[in-house]
Amino acid sequence: MSQTQESWPLYEVFVRARRGLNHVHVGSIHAADDEMALRHARDVFTRRNEGVSIWAVRSDLIAASSPGEKDAFFAPSGDKVYRHPTFYQIPDTVPHM
């Protein structure tokens, strides 16, 4: 196998389906550079008007939390049930709340 293919980096692809929505991760592609990444992403992930905007990000540039440290990493929000509206008891007779 030729070495050049292996050296094409992996890009993660995010597509905004339409105005008003966030970009959502849809998969990944290989490309020699950023411009080719966008073209490949368009051909692979938006053949049926699935998007109005594409982000392609080098996979090795993404900082990700690790599942191994999930417990400690998300613990700060785990014990703060009072951040949720359902924590608070309001009499049933009170409207619009």
Partner 1 sequence: MTQTETLAHEPRTFEQLIAAGERIEPRDAMPDAYRATLIRQIAQHAHSEIIGMQPEGDWLTRAPSLRRKAVLLAKVQDEAGHGLYLYCAAETLGADRADLTANLIEGRQKYSSIFNYPTLSYADVGVIGWLVDGAAICNQVPLCRSSYGPYGRAMIRVCKEESFHQRQGYELLVTMMAGTREQQEMVQDAVNRWWWPALMMFGPPDTDSPNTAQSMAWGIKRHTNDELRQRFVDMSVPQAHALGVTLPDPDLCWDERRGSHDFGQPDWSELARVIKGDGPCNAERLARRRAAHENGAWVREAATAFAARQRQAVVA
Q: Which residues bind partner 1 (CB under 8 A)?
A: 1-2, 4-8, 10, 26-30, 32-33, 36, 43-44, 47-48, 64, 66-68, 70-71, 74-75, 78-79, 81, 84, 86-87
Cβ of residue 89: shortest distance to partner 1, in angstroms? 14
Q: Is 71 helix (H, G, I), strand (E, B) or coil?
A: helix
Cβ of residue 97: shortest distance to partner 1, in angstroms? 18
Q: Residue 21 is encoded by which pair of tokens?
A: 């929505």
All residues at 6 or more sequence positions from 30 whose CB lies less than 8 Å from its CB, including other chains: 5, 8, 9, 10, 11, 40
